[in-house]
Amino acid sequence: MHSRSTPVLTRKGAALKAAVAAVVVLVLWLLTSYALFYNPPLSELQRADAVVVLGGASTERYPVGRGLVEDGWAPVLVLSHTDTPGNVDMDRVCNSRKSERIICFRPEPLTTRGEARAVARLADEHRWDTVLVVTSRYHMLRSYQHIGQCSEARLIMAASDPELGLFGWLPRFVEEVAGLAGGALRPVCANQI
């Protein structure tokens, strides 16, 4: 009788161990994601040759970039021009550009990888040594990785703060982890996509 109950207890014990292991992995992932994407280390602002504002979330990112130029951190404002719903504010500025201090570029493809390549080309063309890059807080690490793989310019990252609830942050954590892994496994400027 004792030998018949042992396999059931062993299966229950194995299931419990697997559940505990899954919870531990999930908690570690959440803590790491929090540190990397919600509360990333921020660079101290320094003067730069240009402020580059990456596309998407333009109502959040564009005011930060514009403010940095207005405050004298760089003489030129560079905007990603994508004609996508999340980029309306910057697209409007690019479509009605009235200042020589604004440069707009179209990334190809319309991804962080495309933006990294475009920023590297612009930095090379204009001989920018230092670029101040504005993007959402959760997107800073991947943007730094991607642009750094394409450009020798010194990068200073500046965060804009998205208004995301808990269920807005979780998908960002997943997307950013996948993007970082992609950049590590297949460097952005190693080959064209």
Give the 3-state secondary structure percentages of the chain, helix then strand then coil, rounded to 5: 55, 15, 30
Find residue 53's DSSP bridge partners. Answer: 79, 134
In this prediction, residues 167-188 reach a mean pLDDT of 87
pTM for the model:
0.84
- Per residue in 125-172, pLDDT (tens digit) is 999 999 999 999 999 999 999 999 999 999 999 999 888 887 888 888
- Per residue in 34-47, pLDDT (tens digit) is 888 888 888 899 99
Q: Report angle CA 41, 121, 193 to the nearest 5 degrees.
A: 85
